[in-house]
Every structure is written in C-alpha cells, then in structure tokens.
C-alpha cells in the first residue's frame, strides 16, 4: 500500500457557505430539543401551514373566476407588439426598419420585441420613403408603397 502525503491546512480550498442547521436532530445539532426553533405554542409551532393558506380568508385561487372552455389559456399568450406608421416618420429618408432599429430609436423594448415580435399597422401616414423588413398589415403596406418606400 502506497503512503500519501499529508495535506496542509493552508492548501485546502476555502469554504464560504456554512452548512444548513438540521433542526430537530438532538441537542448536539445546535438547534435541538424542546421547541426546536419554532417558538412556543400556536399553529406554526404545532404543524406546517400550506403556502396558500390565508388565515381562514377565502384563498386567492378560489376568489378568481374559473375560466372554462378552449380559450382558458388564451389570456396567458401575448400577441405581437404593435407599431403604427405615424411612429416611423422620425426615421431619416431611405432607412431600413428592423427590430434593431426600432429598439435603438426607443419605440419598443428589446426584451419584449425579441420575445413577442413586432408588427406594423397602418394608423397615420408615412412622409418619408422607408424600407421595412417586418411583418406588416395590408393597409400599412399600401401606405408605405404609396409614400415611395419598399416592403421586404
């Protein structure tokens, strides 16, 4: 059997986190015996309470209306962010409109635009010719082409 060198204490890795106290494992654990860190008397000393318990008040989950049918999860889905044509008039002539240019201009937030996407709708008029590389409505497309721009 080969003998190993004894390790020196200064070469051991540093431990930054303390171990969690294991309560209720006898007096030697540092938190043991009698009340075991739960205080004295009362509901929380005797048993665990469910997370959603609100002291006898009707729980929030039960106060909300029950949504039935196929569309019950529809409210959880987000639709695309809407940008109207009147917001695009501040761009210079012949500029390319993408998600990145809308984010730089401060029209949409980057995290929302990447998550949900952006769509251009036809409210307002376009006074400068633009090139658009985004999903677009028929009315907006017609107005951009009429204003001398292109849709790709």
pLDDT digits (tens, 9 = 90+) for 1-28: 677 888 898 888 888 888 888 888 888 8
At the top level of CATH, the class of 81-151 is alpha beta
Q: How far is it, in rounded angstroms, from Cα 152 to Cα 26?
A: 73
Is the pTM here over 0.75, yes or no?
A: no
pLDDT, tens digit, for every residue of 23-34?
Answer: 888 888 778 788
Beta strands in the chain (DSSP E): 81-84, 96-97, 118-121, 131-132, 150-151
Q: How far is it, in rounded angstroms, from Cα 88 to Cα 120?
A: 10
Q: In which residue ranges of the chain is CATH 3.100.10.10 found?
A: 81-151
Check if the beta carbon of residue 130 is closer than 8 Å to that of residue 94: yes
pLDDT, tens digit, for every residue of 84-137?
Answer: 988 888 888 888 888 999 999 889 999 888 888 899 998 888 888 888 898 999
């Amino acid at each position: 059997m080969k003998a190993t060198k004894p390790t020196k204490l200064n070469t051991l890795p540093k431990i930054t986190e303390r171990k969690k106290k294991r309560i209720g494992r006898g007096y030697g654990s540092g938190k043991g015996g009698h009340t075991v860190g739960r205080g004295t008397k009362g509901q929380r000393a005797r048993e665990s309470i469910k997370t959603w318990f609100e002291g006898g008040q009707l729980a929030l989950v039960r106060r909300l209306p029950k949504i039935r049918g196929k569309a019950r999860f529809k409210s959880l889905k987000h639709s695309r962010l809407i940008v109207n044509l009147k917001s695009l008039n501040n761009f210079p002539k012949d500029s390319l409109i993408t998600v990145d240019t809308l984010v730089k201009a401060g029209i949409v937030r980057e995290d929302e635009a990447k998550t949900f996407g952006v769509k251009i709708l036809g409210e307002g008029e376009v006074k400068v010719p633009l090139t658009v590389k985004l999903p677009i409505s028929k009315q907006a497309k017609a107005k951009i082409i009429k204003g001398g721009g292109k849709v790709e």
